[in-house]
A and B are shown apart, each in its own frame.
Chain A
Amino acid sequence: MAEHKKALPPAVTLNPWRRLRAYTDARIGLGRAGVSLPTSELLAFQLAHAQARDAVHLALDMTTLCEQIEQISGQAPLRLHSQAVDRVTYLQRPDLGRRLDEDSRSRLHAPEASASSPVDLAIVVADGLSSFAVQNNTGPFLAALFSQLDASEEVWSLAPITVVEQARVAVGDEIGDLVNARAVLVLIGERPGLSSPDSLGLYLTWAPQIGRTDAERNCISNIRPAGLDVGEASRRAVYLLQEARRMEISGVSLKDRSETPVLACETGPGNFLTG
């Protein structure tokens, strides 16, 4: 029987440039079945998507995070909550994620939280769309930031650090205003990608108050071990903070001219396409 059937040739065309994956996490050199994805790559993608979907709904472990922040900053952070009562509400109502609930507002009105004279900076930690990112990267980033701030010649007075659940970037505007801060720096979990469920973003806003637009913020993105490392991120953050204070502005008119030593970030041989 078997001799009637000849084995078919392999239907998958492999890509000889697949070894370039040593230089990027991008899904290159996948090969093809016809022009389509080979089965193994199709299923690898489906698994990554399933894991990212699960990550969106993972809750922040507040106790552990707050202990970590206290160890680094020497002061227990204030625990706050947005007006979005749960994850499903948060996903569909960005307006609620931008505002504090009543209880949180009253805690910020307390004498130990709000200063009568302005402070230089309020640091706000928000779960955003990836509690995983906040859980893993907040401690290392804050440690790097504080050491950079200590090393700089400028003095920065800080409001108590706040940690906000079910929060969006703009929640920092309300907090910064309530604690009388000249600038607010929001650390927030970015939307999880397939290959990067742990990406932390930073948003700097000068003169925070409700109603600030995104054009009035500066952003540093992709802070995670496999992305922008915390040392470089904190260096840029301090640069932006100093420039914002000097020019009394943030956003599109405050350009990041930190002249990143980009070559230092390079991990590979460079543009091999042009030699």
Chain B
Amino acid sequence: MGKAYRYTLGQRVYRFGGLAELMARATPARSGDRLAGVMARSAEERVVAQMALAEVPLKAFLNEALIPYETDEITRLILDDHQLSPFEPIAHLTVGDFRNWLLSDDATPEVLTDLRPGLTPEMVAAVSKLMRNQDLILVAKKCRVHTAFRSSIGQPGRLSTRLQPNHPTDDVTGIAASILDGLLYGNGDAVIGINPATDNVSQSIRLLNLVNDVIREYAIPTQSCVLTHVTNTLEAIEQGAPVDLVFQSVGGTEATNRSFGVNLSLLNEAQDAALALNRGTVGDNVMYFETGQGSALSAGAHHGLDQQTCEARAYAVARKFEPLLVNTVVGFIGPEYLFDGKEIIRAGLEDHFCGKLLGLPMGCDICYTNHAEADQNDMDNLLTLLGVAGCNFIMGIPGSDDIMLNYQTTSFHDALYVRQVLGLRPAPEFERWLVDMQIIQSGTGSLMEGLPERFVTALKRLPSDGTGVGHG
């Protein structure tokens, strides 16, 4: 435990037992921190903690590890990879000064890009706790993170989607139907990514082949992914399966990752294996990570840290492997961690900001479960806010209803809504493909009426009554 922090408000002296405790007490209220017993005990204590945190020098985060260096490989990763030279321009600042500087015109997109190797997740998490939602949006908007594989993701004025054609029994016809629906609604430029209902190697290979066949048949400038455990993907690669992206859920502590069955060395091995396949055409970002506040606590692996700080530390793991996509699955974990729409919206904006400032291609699974106090209106709010903030990608799913994972995320229609109101466009390669396929109009980008010729042909392969069982 590091030194205690004190703050005097009138007659009362507040004491915080160390940097981890100070950060937890300064965090905007959420149910997961209440569950962990680390949350501020009063509204006043929270703001006092924020005032004390504002006075902490950024340098303190290099001297006081929140989880011991000796026992946690993520702490070692963060401190060993930190570079002093990019940090130098802000080395004299406190957390409060850092907020002011980030909002200032001095912090241009170029300056923020150069700063990345000098930032630790804890510095970024700390400053986010002092920021209002509009601050999180304004600064994130200045962070440009471009990645590429067969499409270029994250360019200014672009918003991509992961087409998520999940099916409760991994039925090929059902999955193909959802893929078609998504493509015809202009979705799928970030990835066509399936969560398999049956999580084994043979099923993963079968689904990889399915999506790979579709991508090749129509020459779609996008990539496929089956969201199975990294060890399954490694086996699939060994068996010669067409793997574009390696997926893995990651967390911000070594013990969280252990609960996921992964470590840095395994992720490194997976990245090397995918790179060796050399399947990208416009870039070689081959990793797809998912994160989410609450995963560390859920695994009993949070070491007394608040869940947002743990989440920011997960971004240190992600950035080590130059991912194509990092997706914070913000409302999936449930009301024990983010209770309602207000907490989900705040967390989504924090995660996007922290990831972007650290240099990650952040997307967001803007979502909720049926046991959370949230609804479609909350999702509309977060979607619009993240669109304004320059989020790289969101999910696209038929009618917002994931019939396999049993939660609600953004729909194909939602993506078109946010593109329309904010003047955003798909990834450039994918946009050209949509025009060539006569799915959208050149220039306006509006959806065409009717069914493009190539897909008329595809539908003719189905029995005319639409229900019969044909041959594959």
Contacts and interface: CB of A to CB of B under 8 A. Distances in A.
Contacts of A259: 202
B462 interface: yes
A221 B336 contact: no
Interface of A: 13, 15-17, 19-30, 32, 34-37, 41, 45-46, 48-49, 52-53, 55-56, 91-95, 129, 190-196, 199, 211, 213-215, 219-222, 226-228, 251-253, 255-260, 262-263, 265-275
A273 B406 contact: no
Interface size class on chain B is 35 or more
Given A228-B168, A255-B200, A28 B177 contact: yes
Nearest to B454: A273
B173 A269 contact: yes
A29 B198 CA distance: 26
Contacts of B413: 30, 32, 35-37
B35 interface: yes
A102 B111 CA distance: 59
A273 B35 contact: no
Contact of A251 (B261, B370, B455): B261
Interface string B306-344: 000000000000000000000000000011100100000
A192 B299 contact: no
B469 A269 contact: yes
B70 interface: no
B114 interface: no
Given A26-B178, A193-B407, A213-B259, A260 B451 contact: no
A266 B451 contact: no
Interface string B164-178: 011111111111111
A95 B337 CA distance: 12
Contact of B31 (A45, A92, A193, A222): A92
B406 A16 contact: no
B184 A17 contact: yes
Contacts of A56: 370-371
Given A27-B401, A95-B35, A272 B371 contact: no
Contact of A252 (B229, B370, B458, B463): B229
20 contacts: A17-B451, A24-B171, A24-B177, A26-B165, A27-B399, A28-B180, A49-B370, A193-B407, A215-B259, A220-B198, A222-B169, A227-B169, A252-B229, A255-B235, A260-B203, A268-B172, A269-B173, A272-B459, A274-B213, A274-B214
Contact of B398 (A16, A26, A226): A26
B344 to A, nearest CB: 15
Given A26-B401, A28-B177, A191-B371, A15 B184 contact: yes
B273 interface: no
Interface of B: 31, 35, 165-181, 184, 197-203, 206, 210, 213-214, 217-218, 229, 231-232, 235, 258-261, 298-300, 334-336, 339, 369-371, 375-376, 397-408, 411, 413, 416-417, 420, 447, 449-451, 455, 458-459, 461-463, 466-472
A42 to B, nearest CB: 9
Contacts of B376: 45-46, 49
B371 A91 contact: yes
Contact of B336 (A23, A92, A195, A252): A92
B307 to A, nearest CB: 13
B370 A52 contact: yes
Contacts of A28: 177-178, 180-181, 398-399
A214 B333 CA distance: 14
Given A91-B335, A219-B199, 13 more contacts: A23-B177, A36-B416, A45-B401, A95-B35, A195-B403, A213-B258, A214-B260, A222-B168, A226-B168, A260-B198, A266-B172, A269-B469, A272-B173
B251 to A, nearest CB: 11
Contacts of A34: 420
B471 A269 contact: yes
Nearest to B404: A222
